[in-house]
């Protein structure tokens, strides 16, 4: 059952990652947020629920191995500025701060998250198929 947990935790983590990427893409032109200022790109931080070495050594305790979302952070890269003096969010020099989002980078991230999700689905299905074969052999 731990193998199912590992795959499902990976799928959940990639689902959250895709949601964050979609939010970044939706806000690529957002110059004003509730917090003030331009939208800042978000990124996700993953952590292992248990180290791979510990699993190999058989040191599994009550904690199920897998991946979890450790947090969502803001990208510290500088914002992009464009000279648009007529824009309502322009500063006193006529510059507007735009989000620090690179659409191509976000699309690559979306593709890798999608592929990771698919890999976890494949691992889940393979585990299920092996369990069904074991039941057929044993029964």
* Confidence bin at 79 (pLDDT 50/70/90): very high
For the cut 70, the answer to whether the pLDDT of residue 128 exceeds it is yes
Q: What is the DSSP letter of 34?
A: T
- Cβ burial of 113 (10 Å; 0-12, 13-18, 19+) is buried
User: In degrees rounded to 5, what are phi and psi of residue 84?
Assistant: -145, 80
CA dihedral for 86, 74, 109, 117, sign (positive or negative) = negative
pLDDT of 27 reads 97
Question: What contacts 79, CB < 8 A, 6 or more positions away?
Answer: 37, 38, 40, 97, 98, 99, 100
Q: Which residue has the tokens 């393979």?
A: 126
pTM score, whole prediction = 0.79
Rounded Cα distance between 118 and 14, Å, is 10
């Amino acid at each position: 059952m731990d193998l199912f947990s590992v795959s499902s935790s990976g799928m959940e983590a990639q689902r959250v990652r895709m949601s964050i990427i979609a939010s970044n893409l939706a806000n690529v032109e957002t110059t004003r947020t509730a917090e003030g200022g331009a939208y800042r790109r978000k990124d996700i931080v993953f952590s292992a629920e248990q180290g791979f070495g510990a699993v190999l050594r058989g040191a599994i305790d009550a904690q199920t191995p897998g991946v979890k979302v450790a947090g969502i952070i803001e990208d510290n890269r500088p914002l992009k500025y464009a000279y648009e003096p007529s824009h309502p969010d322009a500063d006193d020099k006529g510059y507007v701060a735009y989000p620090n989002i690179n659409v191509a980078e976000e699309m690559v991230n979306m593709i890798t998250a999608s592929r990771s999700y698919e890999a976890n689905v494949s691992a889940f299905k393979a585990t299920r198929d092996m369990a069904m074969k074991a039941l057929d052999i044993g029964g």
